[in-house]
């Protein structure tokens, strides 16, 4: 009963506080601070862990603050990188007009700090991609830890203890709904298609959540999923910056369209079947 109470309190406070602060930041024209909303799941989980569950926060590796199985520090972000590359490769095969050399070169010159006229376009892309992929997830890891410690290390394990493996689906639904303020206020991933975008985001979070929780369970470390989350956002954002907007269909292409969801479905089925069923 106490565990269920804690789950409900965590869910309500996390969604309500995130939504309220998101609207406040928009009203104050401080949208640049919106990434810090990712800390809210962890803050609320600490509150529930301490005051509701009356358990230690950082003792004995609570919240996954340990290195765990170190190979997963590589496997986690590698999964995200391969997933993003496959999503956009398949998208390109479905529609070759998604990318063009002219658009790519324009983006590189205007937006990429490492661009140099001394190198070919290909070399410039390799350099920029290497910097993004190797450094950005590490630089921004604190933001991703804030979110992943709340979902992967607190909410999901408690849901699984109450509902068995089916708790993974509940976790994904909650995680997806949590993105609603970002979708409606900042057009996250789906442009102005907010209602359908939220439904797609929920499906995306259910599938990705199963995979991420599998990674967390295997690694025993929040750092592995934080790096995986960071790689997903960084690699996806980098490749998407070269997309020709007029040719891009939010609900078909990329990591969060039907192509990406189909790939995630395969991974989610694999991970779900191998996920330990305990209560």
- In tens, the pLDDT along 188-239 reads 999 999 999 999 999 999 999 999 999 999 999 999 999 999 999 999 988 9
- DSSP letters, the chain, are -HHHHHHHHHHHHHHHHHHHHHHHHHHTT-GGGGGGGGGHHHHHHHHHHHHTS---SSGGGGGG-S--STTHHHHHHHHHHHHHHHHHHHHHHH-GGG--HHHHHHHHHHH-TT--TTS-HHHHHHHHHHHHHHHHHHHTHHHHHHHHHHIIIIIHHHHHHHHGGGHHHHHHHHHHHHTHHHHHHH-TTTTT-HHHHHHHHHHHHHHHHHHHHHHHHHH--HHHHHHHHHHHHHHHHHHHTTS-GGG--TTTSSTTSHHHHHHHHHHHHHHHHHS----
Least confident piece of the model among 107-111, 148-152, 237-241, 275-279 = 275-279
In the predicted model, is pLDDT for residue 278 greater than 60? no
Q: What is the pLDDT of residue 195?
A: 96
User: Tell me, what's the pLDDT at 54?
Assistant: 80
Segment 32-81, tens digit of pLDDT:
899 999 999 999 999 998 888 888 777 766 788 888 899 999 999 999 99
Q: Quote the pTM value.
A: 0.93
């Amino acid at each position: 009963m106490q565990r269920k109470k804690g789950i409900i309190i965590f869910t309500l406070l996390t969604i309500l506080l995130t939504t309220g602060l998101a609207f406040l930041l928009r009203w104050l024209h401080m949208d640049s601070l919106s990434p810090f909303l990712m800390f809210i799941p962890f803050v609320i989980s600490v509150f529930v862990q301490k005051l509701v569950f009356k358990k230690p926060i950082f003792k004995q590796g609570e919240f996954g603050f340990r290195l765990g199985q170190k190979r997963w520090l590589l496997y986690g972000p590698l999964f995200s990188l391969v997933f993003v590359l496959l999503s956009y490769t398949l998208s390109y095969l479905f529609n070759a007009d998604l990318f063009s050399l002219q658009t790519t070169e324009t983006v590189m010159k205007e937006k990429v700090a490492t661009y140099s006229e001394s190198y070919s376009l290909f070399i410039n892309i390799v350099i920029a991609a290497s910097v993004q992929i190797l450094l950005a997830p590490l630089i921004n890891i604190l933001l991703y830890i804030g979110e992943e410690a709340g979902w992967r290390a607190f909410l999901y394990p408690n849901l699984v203890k109450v509902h068995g493996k089916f708790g993974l689906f509940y976790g994904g639904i909650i995680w997806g709904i949590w993105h609603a303020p970002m979708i409606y206020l900042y057009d996250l991933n789906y442009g102005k298609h907010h209602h359908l975008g939220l439904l797609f985001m929920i499906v995306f979070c259910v599938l990705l959540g199963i995979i991420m929780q599998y990674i967390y369970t295997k690694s025993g470390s929040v750092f592995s999923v934080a790096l995986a989350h960071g790689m997903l956002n960084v690699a996806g954002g980098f490749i998407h910056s070269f997309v020709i907007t007029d040719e891009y269909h939010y609900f078909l292409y990329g990591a969060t369209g039907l192509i990406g969801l189909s790939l995630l479905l395969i991974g989610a089925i694999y991970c779900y079947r191998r996920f330990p069923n305990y209560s």
